[in-house]
Structure 1
C-alpha cells in the first residue's frame, strides 16, 4: 500500500477498519493537533485535488491488487466547510463537471462519553453528471462517503485568522459492486 508517497508494508490479512471514535480521537484529533499518528495509513489530500477526481482515480493508486478493496480513508485539507456549513452538492472535475458528491441529510452529531457533541458526520453519494454537466441529469453510483469533522477544536497556532479554510476532515469512501461507476 502506498500512502503519502511512502510504501507501507502491512501484515498479511491486516485491514484498517477503524470505528468513528478511533478515526476522530486517534487520527483526526492528532492530525489537527500536529500530534503523532498511531500509523501512517490515511492518505493526505487537498480538497481541490480530492474534488477534481472521480472516486476511482482517487483510490486506484492505493490498492495493490485491483478491485479487492472496498473502503479507503483520506485526510482532506480545506474540505469545503465554512463556519460549520457545507454545500449540498460538490462538483467533481472542471466547470463542466464529471460528477457530484451529494450530501444526504444533515450532519449527524457524534457524542462523547459525557453526552456532549464533539464531532459531526455527513453522508454523501457520488453521482455521475450527464455530458453537459447539468445537476438535474445525474446518474447515481455505488460510491459513498462519510466525512467526519471535529467541533470546537482549539488550535495552538498563533495564526488562527484563516483556520476555517485550513480545516481537516477525515473521509471514509466505500464502493458497491458497480463496474467503475
Structure 2
C-alpha cells in the first residue's frame, strides 16, 4: 500500500468562517484568548489559527495574493533564556524577518495589567531590500511564564508566539516614497502620517518601505 501523501506546508486555513464573519482580534484578545490558551494547552475559542514554522515558509507562499490579515502560531526559540525578539532567516537564505523599532506593551482592556508584548517585523530580501510583508509578533508577558513552565517549553528554550501577517497596500507604499522627497514649509505643516498601517507602524518612520 502506497504511503499517504502529506502536504509540504500546513493548511493555513484550518477552519472556514461563515459568510459575513471576519476574524479580526485585538492584540489583547489574540494574547489572552488565543496565545495564552495555546501555551497552556487549553481549548481555543475557535480552531482558526494554524501552527506554522515560519523559518521554513516565505510570506509570499503563506499569503499569496490574499490582501487581508492572516494569523499563525509559531514556536520561537529563546537562546539562553533571552526573550529579546530577533530577526531570523527563512528557507535557504532567500529572505529574513527584520525587527523594526522596539517591542510595544499589550495592556488589558482595563489598562492596568501587562498581558503581552508586540514586535513589528518586516520581511527583507536576501540582499537587504524591504518588501511589502509585515508581521506583528505577539508574546506573553514575563509574569505569565511561571504558569506555562509545566509544559516544558520554557525549560527547553522555546515559547509559542502569535503572528499577524499582512501586506502593505500599494498606495501606502507610494505615499511613503513620496514622503521621502523634501517638503516645503507649507507642505510639512499639513502632512500627517495616514497609511493602511497602525499608529505603531507610522511611528517606525520610513524604515518600513518596499
**Cross-structure match for 2:180:** none
Task: Report the alpha carbon displacement of residue 85 of structure 1 after superposing the two structures with TM.
Answer: 1.2
What do residues 82-107 of structure 1 show as CA deviations (whole Å, max 9, x unaligned)? 432132x322222xx11111101111
TM-score by length of 1: 0.75
> Gapped runs of 5+ residues in structure 1?
61-66, 131-137
Distance 1:160 1:56 in 2: 29
Distance 1:52 1:150 in 2: 23
More strand by share: 1
**Cross-structure match for 1:143:** 133
- Between the two proteins, the alignment pairs up a number of residues equal to 157
More helix by share: 2
> Gapped runs of 5+ residues in structure 2?
1-9, 171-209
Larger radius of gyration: 2
Distance 1:114 1:9 in 2: 33
Q: Cα gap change, 1:6/1:98 in structure 2, threshold over 3 Å: closer, same or farther?
A: closer
TM-score by length of 2: 0.65
Structure 2 counterparts to residues 1-181 of structure 1, below 5 A? 8-45=15-52, 49-60=53-64, 67-80=65-78, 82-87=81-86, 89-94=87-92, 97-112=93-108, 113=110, 115-130=112-127, 138-151=128-141, 152-153=143-144, 154-155=147-148, 157=150, 159=152, 162-163=155-156, 165-177=157-169
RMSD: 2.6
Task: Report the alpha carbon displacement of residue 23 of structure 1 after superposing the two structures with TM.
Answer: 0.4
CA contact (8 A) 2:28 2:107 kept: no
The higher relative CO (CA closer than 8 Å, separation ≥ 6) is in 1
Distance 2:20 2:126 in 1: 37
Task: Report the alpha carbon displacement of residue 5 of structure 1 after superposing the two structures with TM.
Answer: 8.2
